[in-house]
Structure 1
Amino acid sequence: MDPVIVVGAGPVGLALSLALAQQQVPSIVLDETTGKEEPRLARTVVLRPDTAAMVERLDCATLRDEGSRWIGWRSLRRKQEVRHVVLGDDDSPAPLHIPQHALTRGLRDAVAARDEITLVTESRVDSLEQDADGVTVHTRGPEAVWWRGSHVVGCDGARSTVRKLLGIRFPGRTAVERHAVAALRTELPWPDEALLHRSPPWRTGGEEITARPLPDDVWRLDWLLPPRSELVTPDALINRVRDTLAGWCGETPPYELIDTGVHTIHHRLARRWRVDRAFLAGDAAHLLGALGTGSLDEGLRDADNLAWKLAHVWHHGPSEALLDSYQAERRTSVAGRLRAADQVLPILRGGGALRTYLPGAARGHDILLTDGHLGQGPLGASPVYRHSPLSSGHVPEQVLVGTEAGAPVSDVRVTAPDGTVTRLRDRLGRGRLLVVLVAPGTGVWDRRHWQSAGVMPRLAGAVSALPARAELLVTESYPGASAHTVLLVRPDGHLVASFPGVRPAELYEAADAVRGGAPAAAPSGRTADVN
């Protein structure tokens, strides 16, 4: 079969190609740029624990070298500290803050090490054709080239050429928020902690300031700008920097201004994310980011969701239900995130004294903002695919555990059949289902005999008979699960179902639903439009 064509070599396009390569699917990445990233420390991204773990699985070395994991989060209002959250444990995992150019460079280095990926620079797409067997994409650059692929994925940003060629509308709101941004090297009173300061008491503070640490005493500072404000001049930005540092430190400490900019946030959502063999992902499909929500997080979740589905189809044959589920799951999830932000924005950004003095209002607003920045609640938590078309519906004998069906599983320690002990997240992204047995006492099992103990032989037989590739793992415990509970987990880490013991028929039914049923003999027609 022909390779998958990925249009766009930003973090989402590169991550998608790497995720496909890990599942033995070749790809061609078409990059209209020269492939050189300009270092910009005022342009950074925050990855939540699930997306940071995904990028780590893709062998992106720059996460360790140039990223910063916060040890805490502080919220201030006027002169008072409202909230302090300690980060880094299982209950409050730490986000990862990294310059976007460093993340992109790390992903490019990982791409260069994979034989399955062909990265072509200075290749701008100008036409796209589809037929029953694949897609044909034409690019112009130093040479005009026709490329043939099994599918095409537009990861080419907010002005996506792929989206325009497919005739997909991209409605939404412009300039939902604007921020003045500065990257500087200095010492602040909260080393390695991120900070949100609302209504700071100095004149140039504005309504809200955030400070996020990077390695080597570098900080990114963002000042929320009022709607329809004037351009931010260099002198005005310097005044903001000096006043803010003095407000936090008592006097302006020594600092080195490294980079500046203005960050404008838009909210948009493409009407369709799939047209036959063509898909959209990342900023080509959606724009968001107000109130601390993560646009790149959602783009990486798009890549994680789509990669295993394309890989299954590439290896095993067409499944319209499986490919349709990408739009059904991801578009629904991002639409919910946008709705939540749009509902909260008037509360947090609206004027008037009433909201300021309502009892508990300040604390409630702080919780909403913290959710967005730390990846919690409706503004930031990992998606739950409750109504996925891949759900098997009501499967008899299911039991409830601490994770609801469709939600990301907890990252417990697991043991593989060869005796390897690792984290559950480390087994994701390989294109196969995971079957996890909860078996207390696993740590003291004799590795030579553990596959013949208890229910293991029957469960191993049931796993080998599943209609899709699966790996059997064992864990000492799982939140809310009793001994001998069996969990079925998707390749992207979302729980499919949980059973009270070995239930071969029910396990098979759930696995068959996840793959979208048996592969079709030939591709069928178009997907339905979305209103």
Structure 2
Amino acid sequence: MTVRCADGQIRAEWLVGCDGAHSRVRKAAGIGFPGVAVIERFLLADVRAELPLPHDAVSVWLRGDRMIGAFPLPGTDMWRLMAPAPAGTAEELGPDASLAVLAGALEDQAGVPATAVREALWTSTFRIHRRLASGYRHGRILLGGDAAHIHSPFGGQGMNTGLGDAENLAWKLALVATGRAGTALLDTYQAERRPIAEEVLESTSAMTRMIVGETPLARAVRDRVFVPLMNRPSVQRLIWEKSSQLKVTYRNGPLAPRSLVGRPAGGPHAGDRVPDLECLREDGCPTRLHAELRSRWALLLPTMSENPCTSTARRYLGGSDTVTVLTPTNSGRRQVMLVRPDGHLAWRGTSPAGLSRWLTRMLGHDHTRRPRRGP
């Protein structure tokens, strides 16, 4: 594959388009990007301001069909202001006009004097769309992040969804590019990640419509039901869990098919994210699971003694540099667990033969195929 740039051209075997909502990679691949507008237009500005607001939380004011949000940025006086463009607002607003509208909304709805906003460092307008790529892969071209999905910023899931794409695709593409896996493994990227994006699009669109309150009935439900619920600690925790995406699971997906054997009590199911367990390395040094993963697989053994699953995993996946062996300090489990580089459980069991079967199916061929050293 050849990519032609302004300063020359690049030859590569694979191309991953992470070039945003207007992705040229997606367009060149002929991948559709269907969707609809959710909200007509929002105004944004990064400002210097003296606001009497907490710096560890987002502040939002809702007044009828109006709203304004203030998002703390790094620094003592840096904020991002966001509000819907009022009806009749000119299509093209300069920085001064945008700042005047936002500062006026802050004073009108939050009671903060407009003079508290001293300077605009950046302004923009945008329309909130929900769009989802019709496919995440076309031959040797793949998509990730905003090139594959865009949605409302309400709920704060945009960056986490893109990062989830990257960590899911990276280890799969590495196995394929080095010849350890067949290209069919890349189809599991869309199978695992696109349903997550679909759910994010649905939830953020619903939240946006609820917060903006497009009808009197919607505003009444928002003010009398939604806002009081948002102030409950239990609801706030659920929202945090949802937006953090730490409980995303690929259970029952192509790499974690439904099993006739029930899930062991207290343990994750294949496809679930594995907690950041306290562990011991092979040399006995203490560590934590997530610190050891990075770009590696982790084999969690019930005891520090040798286990035949170790040689099986390393034979298939690339040796000790690719598979780290750890022993959880307080697990009490008798099974071996193989954890993917993205932190999700790949396999659990006690039989090296069972691990071998799973790896053969995942890689698409037997481990005896000679891996390639590089692209």
The two structures share one fold, judged by TM-score above 0.5: yes
Query: Which of these residues, 161, 164, 172, is aligned with residue 298 of structure 1?
Result: 161
Cα distance, 1:177–1:491 mapped onto 2, change above 3 Å: farther
CA displacement, residues 376-421 of structure 1 (integer Å, 9 cap, x when unaligned): 33x6524321232112542758514354432322223322213443
1:278 counterpart = 2:141: yes
Q: State the shift of 1:228 in Å.
A: 7.9
How does 1:251-330 map onto structure 2 within 5 Å? Answer: 254-257=116-119, 258-330=121-193
TM-score by length of 2: 0.79
CA displacement, residues 141-183 of structure 1 (integer Å, 9 cap, x when unaligned): 244x3x3322222222222222222221111113636332222
1:456 counterpart = 2:304: yes
On the 8 A contact 1:403/1:409 being kept in 2, the answer is yes
On the 8 A contact 1:157/1:282 being kept in 2, the answer is yes
1:394 counterpart = 2:243: no
Distance 1:236 1:160 in 2: 27
1:172 counterpart = 2:35: yes
2:337 aligns with: 487
Distance 1:162 1:247 in 2: 42
Query: Which of these residues, 317, 322, 328, is aligned with residue 468 of structure 1?
Result: 317
Cα distance, 1:237–1:407 mapped onto 2, change above 3 Å: same
On the 8 A contact 1:400/1:498 being kept in 2, the answer is no
CA displacement, residues 448-504 of structure 1 (integer Å, 9 cap, x when unaligned): xxxxxxx43243x32122232422112223xxx5444533211111122444xx443
1:350 aligns with: 214
1:418 counterpart = 2:283: yes
Distance 1:521 1:483 in 2: 33
Cα distance, 1:433–1:164 mapped onto 2, change above 3 Å: same
2:102 aligns with: 240
Letter in 2 for 1:468: L
1:222 counterpart = 2:96: no
How does 1:56-71 map onto structure 2 within 5 Å? Answer: none
1:381 counterpart = 2:245: yes
Query: Which of these residues, 67, 73, 78, is aligned with residue 207 of structure 1?
Result: 67
On the 8 A contact 2:72/2:80 being kept in 1, the answer is yes
Q: State the shift of 1:356 in Å.
A: 1.5
Distance 1:260 1:244 in 2: 16
1:433 counterpart = 2:293: no
Cα distance, 1:495–1:402 mapped onto 2, change above 3 Å: same
**Higher alpha-carbon deviation: 400-409 or 155-164:** 400-409
Cα distance, 1:155–1:239 mapped onto 2, change above 3 Å: closer
Distance 1:265 1:193 in 2: 25
Distance 2:101 2:237 in 1: 28
Distance 2:156 2:237 in 1: 5
Distance 2:241 2:158 in 1: 15
1:360 counterpart = 2:220: no
CA displacement, residues 2-43 of structure 1 (integer Å, 9 cap, x when unaligned): xxxxxxxxxxxxxxxxxxxxxxxxxxxxxxxxxxxxxxxxxx
Distance 1:518 1:271 in 2: 32
Letter in 2 for 1:493: G
Identical-residue share of aligned pairs (%): 29
On the 8 A contact 2:98/2:123 being kept in 1, the answer is no
On the 8 A contact 2:290/2:343 being kept in 1, the answer is yes
TM-score by length of 1: 0.58
Alignment gaps of 5+ in structure 2: 371-375
Distance 1:186 1:337 in 2: 32
How does 1:32-111 map onto structure 2 within 5 Å? Answer: none
Cα distance, 1:427–1:409 mapped onto 2, change above 3 Å: same
Distance 1:210 1:255 in 2: 12
Alignment gaps of 5+ in structure 1: 1-135, 439-454, 523-531
1:334 counterpart = 2:197: yes
